[in-house]
């Protein structure tokens, strides 16, 4: 999984952190949680605020679908 796989990352985060509201996650924690995902294998340096925003929005969408 790469940084650009925001939907897949969001699904994994929703499953890994089911009791966490994506609206309350700060970008430092979000970045660390993405890096900790077992299927994630991208360069940590390729992450920026826009990527984290996209992941957070996808996670919010995932949470709304449940």
Nearest residue to 43 (alpha-carbon basis) of 53, 32, 51, 35: 35
Confidence of residue 16 (pLDDT cuts 50, 70, 90): very high
Comparing 16 with 63, which gets the higher pLDDT? Answer: 16
**pLDDT tens track for 29-58:** 999 999 999 999 999 999 999 999 999 999
CATH assignment of 6-65, among 1.10.2020.10, 1.10.1060.10, 1.10.8.80, 1.10.10.600: 1.10.10.600
B/e letters for 27-62, b = 16+ CB within 10 Å, e = fewer, are eeebbebbeeeeebebeeeebeeebbebbbebbbeb
């Amino acid at each position: 999984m790469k940084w650009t796989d925001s939907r897949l990352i969001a699904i994994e985060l929703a499953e890994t952190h089911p009791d966490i509201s994506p609206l309350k996650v700060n970008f430092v924690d979000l970045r660390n949680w993405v890096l900790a995902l077992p299927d994630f294998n991208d360069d940590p340096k390729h992450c920026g605020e826009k990527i984290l925003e996209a992941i957070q929005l996808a996670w919010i969408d995932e949470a709304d679908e449940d």
